[in-house]
Amino acid sequence: MLALAPGAHAAGPCGVSATPLRGSAPLTVTFTATCSSTSYTWAFGDGRQAVGQTVQHVYPAGAWHPTLATELGTEPAAVVTSIAVSLTGPHSARYAQWVTLRAAVTPRVPVTLRGRRFVHGKLRVRVLGTAPWVASALGTRSRPLRILVTPRLVVRAVSSAIVGSKIRVRATLHPASAGRVDVPKVDTRGVHVAHLTVRTHAARGWAAVSTSVTIEIVQPDLALGSRGPSVLALERRLRELHYAVQADGSFGDDDVEAVYAFQKVTGLARTGIVDGALWSRLATATVPRARYGGDHVEIDRSRQVLFVVRGGKVALVVATSTGATGNTPLGLWHVYRKVVGFDWVLYYPNYFLRGFAIHGYPDVPPYPASHGCARIPMWIAQTIYADIAYSSAVYVYA
């Protein structure tokens, strides 16, 4: 049926004007008969009737077909469309999250939102702000739907810092308009574990968020005999980087040798002592890279370190001391003999060429000092022995 514009006249023996013909439910419509008649009977299409040349009727949601009966006959009036549209969705969402909005409309007419049309009553949207969501159906708007949006807070801080240093904590809120970031200061006056919580003061429509980070405040100078949380922080960081060390909070020979190995790999002076420069390098260091792929052992004669390599990646870094005269043979060799315990003065040796072996020894200085073997610390010798099988490849390079 052709719907007439508001105020238009339907064709018929009398003539009818109705206004408005479309709007939000409940919709009040005024009907007027434009002819002279002794009687006017209106049937509004929703089961209700009224008499009079001019009448009003309140329509619930729906599409309605009113008629007028006069002494001239019965004629239809224009279709009345009383629209009810509602919009639902999640109460909250993360910033940039995709969510589904649902629209319900009576009668069945197209529903749109920001230029996009609902399909089967659903519409996927990305939450990028806090502006209310409003659906529209033939000019009728739904009540605003407000979604509480949780922004993304990214906090970057060092995992450890030196006593007395200034710590820079970078906190970024996405989007920046979501609020103000509050970054508390970190107390670095003594050794402790600082638990830092960064919070936001939310802007309207945004949720407040917080992120916590842990920063170990450590002392700058450590040496043989040192004890406490700073030593434990050092040991844990070295183990993260795959250096052989025991995490017991006591700076022993294993720590000295692990520090030697780290200093060798990173080009620092081989002192076996931890200072501010070493702490700084630890904060940015990465696991050393193997030179060859597969499972094998690498002996770097120039840096005096031994790598246990698994799947082409360094699994363990061990301090070593090779031949004092530079006689540790370069090349690719294979383990052909292994001895449990002592073989003369060699502890748990793994022979890879004639009398050359990887073995434990009480003295592993940070420079070449052996007769040609690759010395490793006594405490790690059994572990290395178990990790190296017969026929294992051993690469020695300068």
pLDDT tens sequence across 122-147: 999 999 999 999 999 999 999 999 99
CB atoms within 10 A of CB 343: 15
What class has domain 296-397? mainly beta
CA distance 105 to 92: 23
Is the domain defined by 9-83 classed in CATH 2.60.120.10?
Answer: no
Predicted confidence (pLDDT) at residue 5 exceeds the cutoff of 70: no
The confidence score (pLDDT) of residue 219 equals: 83
What is the pLDDT at residue 213? Answer: 95
Partners of 215 in the beta sheet?
194
Q: Does the fold of domain 229-284 match that of domain 152-218?
A: no
pLDDT at 13: 81
* Predicted pLDDT at 266: 97
Q: Which is it for strands 136-137 and 148-150: parallel, antiparallel or unpaired?
A: unpaired
Q: How far is CA 115 from CA 76, 110, 127, in A?
A: 35, 12, 16
pTM over 0.75: no
pLDDT at 398: 96
What is the band of 379 on the pLDDT scale with cuts at 50, 70, 90? Answer: very high
Distance between CA atoms of residues 143 and 87, nearest Å: 7
Return the CATH architecture of domain 85-150.
Answer: Sandwich (2.60)
Task: Give the residue carrying structure tokens 């209310």.
Answer: 132
326, with CB counted inside 10 A (0-12, 13-18, 19+), is exposed
Give, as one character, the DSSP assignment of residue 227: B
Beta strand segments in 34-120, E = 41-43, 49-51, 54-59, 62-64, 67-70, 73-76, 80-88, 92-94, 98-106, 112-113, 116-117
- pLDDT digit string, tens, across residues 321-336: 999 999 999 999 999 9
Compute how many other C-beta atoms are within 10 angstroms of the C-beta atom of residue 120: 7
**DSSP annotation string for 185-213:** ----SSSEEEEEEEEEEEPTTB---EEEE
Count Cα atoms within 13 angstroms, Cβ side, for 211: 16
Q: Is the pLDDT of residue 65 over 60?
A: yes
* Residue 159 pLDDT: 86
* Distance separating alpha carbons of residues 309 and 380, to the nearest angstrom: 16
Q: Which residues pair with 57 in a beta bridge?
A: 29
Q: What integer pLDDT is reported at residue 220 of this predicted model?
A: 86
268: confidence class by pLDDT, cuts 50, 70, 90: very high
CATH number corresponding to 152-218: 2.60.40.10
Q: What is the mean pLDDT of residues 374-397?
A: 98
Kindly report the CATH number that applies to the domain delimited by 229-284. Answer: 1.10.101.10
- 210-227 residue pLDDT tens: 999 999 888 889 999 999
Element (H, E) at 377: strand 374-377
Nearest alpha-carbon partner for 150 in 172, 181, 173, 184? 173
**Each residue of 146-198: pLDDT tens digit?**
999 999 999 999 888 888 888 989 999 999 999 999 999 999 988 889 999 99
Average pLDDT of the chain is: 95
**What are the boundaries of each domain within the chain?**
9-83, 85-150, 152-218, 229-284, 296-397
Backbone angles phi and psi of 381, in degrees to 5: -60, -45
SS3 of 131-156: the string is CCECCEECCEECCCECCEEECEEEEE
| Cβ atoms 107, 99 nearer than 8 A | no
- Assess whether pLDDT exceeds 60 at residue 120: yes
- In the block, tokens 């005024």 appear at 30
- 8 A C-beta contact, residue 286 and residue 241: yes
